[in-house]
Each structure stands twice: as structure tokens, then as C-alpha cells.
Amino acid sequence: MSQAQFEGMVGKQRLKALIAAVWTVRKGMDGTQEYLLGWVGGLVDGNAIDDDIAFTARRFILDGGSDVAVQDPVPLYLYPNATYQRVEGKSMLGLEEEIMAGGPHAESRVSRIYALSADESHPLHYVAKHYMYLSRAKLASVK
């Protein structure tokens, strides 16, 4: 994820929406807060967000991270153009079905998802990327 993804007020709303997506997927499981705090730390280390945005994100996570007060919907990603398929409002099953129906014919489901998430030019790139994001969130801190 790049710094442009989280710039300005829309960027902060996008970050909060991504955090809320993890809360939704994990449904209050233990380790959710730690996973999200680690993810924010990774964004800081990767220069995707600065310390001020990180502080806001950490405060949002520590306050529960699930209430996003947004008047208008905020796209979770900055799609380069209209050919990219969107991820908003789709379940993990829905995302996976799109990947399997439209992705390249790799040897396995996992390699197909990895191939798409690495190919920024493919229309399903963000679908695969978001699927991986949510699946990692679901599996994070599972004992």
C-alpha cells in the first residue's frame, strides 16, 4: 500500500474502513487488536503512513475500531481506472468466487490468488489483494 492511499481526510476514512473490515471479519476474536496494531506499525515502517496518521489509527483501534462514521461510501482502495473490479461490500466467499471465475489458470487456488495479488495490471488485482488481506486478518493470532 502506498502513501497516496492514506493521504488527506479520504485517506484517513479509508484506513478506518480497512480497520473496520478486519473487525467485521474477525468478529471480536482474541488477537484482533494486536494484529491491527502490528499492521499499522508495518504501514509506518513501509512509509505508507506518517506518525500522525498512525496515532489516529492506533487510537481508533484501541477504541474498538468498528464504528466508521462516514457519510458517503469510501472506496477501500485507489483503483487506477474503471477496469479494476471493486471489493467493497463483498464477502470472502464472493471475492474467492470472482478470483476463481476470472483469474489466470494457475496450478492451484492459492497460486492463482498470489499471482493476481502480485499483478497490478490485472483487473482482479484488488480482489485478490483484499481476499488475502481479509484471510490474513481472519487467521492472525489464532492459537
Q: What is the pLDDT of residue 95?
A: 93
Express each pLDDT in 90-131 by its tens digit: 888 999 999 988 866 667 888 889 889 889 899 999 999 999
Residues 95 and 135: beta-carbon distance below 8 Å = no
Distance CA 125, CA 70 (A): 26
Residues 102 and 81: beta-carbon distance below 8 Å = no
Express each pLDDT in 49-78 by its tens digit: 999 999 999 999 998 876 665 556 778 888
Residues 92 and 131: beta-carbon distance below 8 Å = yes
Distance CA 43, CA 37 (A): 10
